[in-house]
Amino acid sequence: MRCEEWLKEKLNDGELHLCEDIRVAARKEGFSQAELKEARKALGVKTFHQFDEDGDTQNWFWYLEVC
């Protein structure tokens, strides 16, 4: 549950957050990849894949829809 609260706080601004940045920050906080995945599912985190003029990039973003 702690990881879920942490992730919600990180994504609660409605902005796009680079997935890799969130993963690195989660590791620094001591959360496992499994905990982060479970928190993402529980919160309904949305993903966005960035494309440019050459097609897709390696950039994936996470965000929460703000109501």
pLDDT tens string 4-57:
999 999 999 989 999 999 999 999 999 999 999 999 999 999 999 877 777 777
Question: With the C-alpha atoms ordered 15, 19, 24, 28, is the resulting torsion angle positive or negative?
Answer: positive
Looking at residue 67, its pLDDT comes to: 61
15 Cβ contact partners less than 8 Å away, ≥ 6 residues apart: 63
Looking at residue 55, its pLDDT comes to: 74
Looking at residue 58, its pLDDT comes to: 81
- pTM score, whole prediction: 0.85
Amino acid identity, position 22: I
Confidence of residue 65 (pLDDT cuts 50, 70, 90): confident
Helices (H) and strands (E) in the chain, counts: 3, 3
